[in-house]
Amino acid sequence: MKKYTDSGKKDTRSGFGAGLTELGKTNPDVVALCADLTGSLKMDDFKANHPERFFQVGIAEANMMGIAAGMTIGGKIPFTGTFANFSTGRVYDQIRQSIAYSDKNVKICASHAGVTLGEDGATHQILEDIGLMKMLPGMTVINTCDYNQTKAATLAIAEHHGPVYLRFGRPKVANFTSEDQNFEIGKAVTLQQGNDVTIVATGHLVWEALQAAETLNDSGISAEVINIHTIKPLDDKAIIGSVKKTGCVVTAEEHNFLGGLGESVARVLAEQHPTPQEFVATQDTFGESGTPEQLMDKYGLNAEAIIKAVHKVIGRK
């Protein structure tokens, strides 16, 4: 078993902030837009270093998406920043028409996704954004797992031409991927090799999946863990390849089990290799206030829930 160590808890949004700071220095075409959440999105550095390339749009997310689309005309690469709910559901039609259908090179960067946003509660905790964005033709959808990966992804999406949705979060979580990683859009990362079950996890659930795999290993179950940071385009091959070996799969995401990663995997399997699958995800409920840990626990989004799902799905082989 590979050993992964937490180099010190950090929030993924700070990984975004660090990536944006770096892009500010290295790529003069990068511009940043924010809808009155500069601090929450960790965009202060970029703002301070490049005031002329930072655009405060106030509390007007629809306008922000339109402006970002327009800014690409003439060669800018706009990064928009607000909470995940206001980055997607609030502005779906604007993204659809002015960005996705118009094929504009806009990077939609979304913090505070999922229940781990915590105390603000359900109105802010979107659990549908992966589904929303994955349905848009031409959109790339990424959900990173830790600080280092979020920073690497931020740098990578600037190089990729086309609309991107980059999803990250608020709480401090384990930082375990390598600092100097090369982020390959659309390429799944197999973190653990295993034979008994495949765990396909994204975002904050990847670390939980690794913890689960360790515990499972102790009880003699060998779990393959795939970090599926890119939900669209989905790395079908990696998933199918693994599932053919293990014969069952658990998907894990901080998202409603309807419409998200889990259903994408179910579809790929139904088309290519029908397989028992369990879904670690929220069960079609809104979230609520609480600490991130309490909510992960209550809504079944942690290593324990993954372990339970693994036992169940292995029993179904």
Partner 1 sequence: MPFVPLSECLIFGTEKTTLMPDLSYLEDLIVQVRRDILRQVHKVNSGHPGGSLGCTEFFVALYQVIMDRKDSFEMDGKGEDLFFLSNGHISPVFYSVLARSGYFPIEELNTFRLIDSRLQGHPTTHEGLPGIRVASGSLGQGISVAIGAAQTKKLNNDDHLIYALCGDGELQEGQNWEAIMYAAANEIDNLIVTVDRNGQQIDGPTDKVLPMGNLKAKFEAFGWTVIELDNGNDLKAVIEGLNTAKSETGKGKPVCVLMTTIMGNGVDFMMHTHDWHGKAPNDEQLEIGLAQNPETLGDY
Site for a copy of itself in 231-290 (CB under 8 A): 232, 256-259, 262-267, 269-271, 274-279, 284-286
- Give the list of residues 6+ apart from residue 145 with CB closer than 8 angstroms, or none: 12, 177, 201, 202, 203, 204, 205, 206, 207, 227, 229
**What is the Cα–Cα distance from 310 to 274, expressed in whole angstroms?**
17
In the β-sheet with 30-34, what is the strand arrangement from edge to edge? 54-56, 30-34, 77-83, 107-111, 164-167, 140-143, 230-232
22 versus 120: smaller Cβ distance to partner 1: 120
Check residue 101 for interaction with partner 1 (CB under 8 A): yes
76 versus 308: smaller Cβ distance to a copy of itself: 308
Site for a copy of itself in 214-233 (CB under 8 A): 232
89 versus 233: smaller Cβ distance to partner 1: 89
CB of 213 to a copy of itself, least distance (A): 21
Phi and psi torsions of 232, nearest 5°:
-150, 125
Beta bridge partners of 288: none
Catalytic residue among 52, 61, 179, 263: 61
Known catalytic membership, residue 61? yes
Check residue 172 for interaction with partner 1 (CB under 8 A): no
**What is the Cα–Cα distance from 115 to 136, expressed in whole angstroms?**
23
Contact partner, 278, from partner 1, ligand TPP, a copy of itself, none, Cβ < 5-8 Å per class? a copy of itself
Site for partner 1 in 260-299 (CB under 8 A): 286, 288-291, 294-295, 298
Check residue 135 for interaction with partner 1 (CB under 8 A): no
CB of 132 to a copy of itself, least distance (A): 7
85 versus 227: smaller Cβ distance to ligand TPP: 85
Q: What angle do CA 157, 162, 164 make, to 5 degrees?
A: 55
Which is nearest to 88 in space by CA: 2, 164, 12?
A: 164
CB 173 within 8 A of CB 204: yes
Check residue 93 for interaction with partner 1 (CB under 8 A): yes
Give the active site residues: 61
